[in-house]
């Protein structure tokens, strides 16, 4: 049976996370409902990345099986059915027989957005953080993160994982149109990891040192890190698959 992959983007503030949780409004439930309505059979999808409540995505992928070719108006019809907080971007044919959107991804990139002057147009789209920050220190801590592979201190308790190792490809801060952004890209992320990295770096910038971040990383203890920054500042920005694994249809 052909395996298809739907690429979507969404405003996370309108959903209780991405993963199906019964009848609770989630991104995946909306995608499943839309595909089932459009294709007229029950469709259950497999997602590429789980995002928490409030977290946005510029892209996420949902794999589904359907034993017929898709029509050229597939994306148009998906968008006519999907709720306003989700948009279908593209649909692909999986060329790998046992393709899995989660485990076949080789890179994921996140961006966390911060602003320090009140702006109603950024409400629920970035974190309002009206405190002075040391950008130089933030860049030092980002470099430290890039040099590590073990992130047990930045996985929330009860994380279901066999390893806390992650390969960091990029970790840096940048100023962007009056905002401050943290960008991090890795082969995988742990539960709560990006928000933990952001919050802990913010705390270090205000009242700590880069050495304290090293101490937290080496402790392998999540009670030493800080995770309490809002989800709505976080964006899943990109997911990368090996060349030749997906063929875009529409």
DSSP for the chain? --EEEEEEEE-GGGSS-SS--TTS--HHHHHHHHHHHHHTS----EES----TT-EEEEEEEEEE-SSPPPTTHHHHHHHHS-TTEEEEEEEEE-STT--TTTS--EEEEEEEEESS--GGGTTTSEE--S---HHHHHHHHHHHHT--B-GGGS-TT---S--B--EEEEEEEEETTEEEEEEEES---TTHHHHHHHHHHHHHHH--HHHHHHHHHHT-GGGS---S-GGGEEEEEEE--TTSEEE--
Task: Check residue 206 and give its pLDDT.
Answer: 87
Query: What is the structure's pLDDT at 165?
Result: 96
**Per-residue confidence at 139, pLDDT binned at 50, 70, 90?**
very high
End-to-end CA distance of the chain: 19
pLDDT tens digits for 57-74?
A: 999 999 999 999 999 999
Give the pLDDT mean for 124-129.
Answer: 96
| Rounded Cα–Cα distance for residues 111 and 114 (Å) | 10
Q: Is the separation of the CB atoms in 224 and 157 below 8 Å?
A: no
Task: Provide the whole-model pTM.
Answer: 0.94
pLDDT attached to residue 162: 83
Say if residue 158's pLDDT is above 80.
Answer: no
Q: How confident is the model at residue 2 (pLDDT cuts 50, 70, 90)?
A: very high
Structural domains in the chain? 3-101 (3.30.70.580), 107-237 (3.30.70.660)
- Tens digit of each residue's pLDDT (9 = 90 or more) over 186-199: 999 999 999 999 99
Taking residues 42-58, report their average pLDDT.
Answer: 96
pLDDT at 6 over 90: yes
- What local confidence, expressed as pLDDT, does residue 157 receive? 74
Confidence at residue 207, expressed as pLDDT on a 0 to 100 scale: 85
Q: What is the pLDDT of residue 154?
A: 95
pLDDT digits (tens, 9 = 90+) for 90-109: 999 999 999 999 999 999 99
Give me the half-sphere count of Cα atoms (radius 13 Å) on the Cβ side of residue 105: 24
Average pLDDT over residues 132-156: 95
| Predicted confidence (pLDDT) at residue 215 exceeds the cutoff of 80 | yes
Question: Measuring CA to CA, which residue among 209, 203, 200 is closest to residue 171?
Answer: 200
Q: How confident is the model at residue 37 (pLDDT cuts 50, 70, 90)?
A: very high
Residue 156 confidence (pLDDT): 84
159 has pLDDT over 80: no
Q: Are strands 3-10 and 86-94 parallel, antiparallel or unpaired?
A: antiparallel
Is the pLDDT at 160 greater than 80? The verdict is: no
């Amino acid at each position: 049976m052909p395996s298809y992959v739907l690429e979507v983007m969404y405003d996370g503030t309108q959903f209780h996370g991405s993963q199906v949780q019964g009848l609770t409004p989630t991104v995946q439930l909306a995608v499943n409902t839309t595909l089932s309505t459009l294709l007229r059979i029950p469709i259950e999808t497999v997602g590429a990345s789980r995002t928490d409540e409030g977290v946005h995505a510029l892209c996420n992928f949902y794999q589904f099986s359907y034993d017929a070719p898709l029509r050229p108006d597939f994306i148009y019809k998906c968008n006519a059915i999907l709720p306003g907080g989700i948009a279908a971007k593209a649909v692909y044919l999986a060329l790998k027989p046992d393709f899995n959107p989660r485990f076949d991804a080789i890179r994921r990139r996140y961006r966390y957005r911060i602003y320090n002057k009140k702006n109603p147009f950024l409400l629920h789209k970035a974190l309002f953080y009206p405190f002075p920050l040391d950008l130089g220190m933030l860049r030092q801590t980002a470099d430290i993160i890039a040099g590590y592979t073990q992130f047990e201190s930045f996985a929330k308790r009860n994380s279901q994982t066999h390893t806390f190792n992650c390969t960091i490809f990029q970790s840096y801060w940048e100023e962007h149109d009056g905002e401050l952004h943290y960008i991090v890209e890795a082969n995988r992320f742990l539960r709560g990891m990006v928000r933990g990295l952001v919050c802990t770096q913010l705390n270090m910038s205000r009242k700590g040192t880069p050495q304290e971040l090293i101490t937290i990383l080496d402790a392998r203890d999540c009670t030493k890190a800080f995770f309490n920054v809002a989800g709505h500042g976080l964006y899943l920005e990109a997911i990368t698959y090996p060349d030749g694994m997906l063929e875009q249809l529409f």
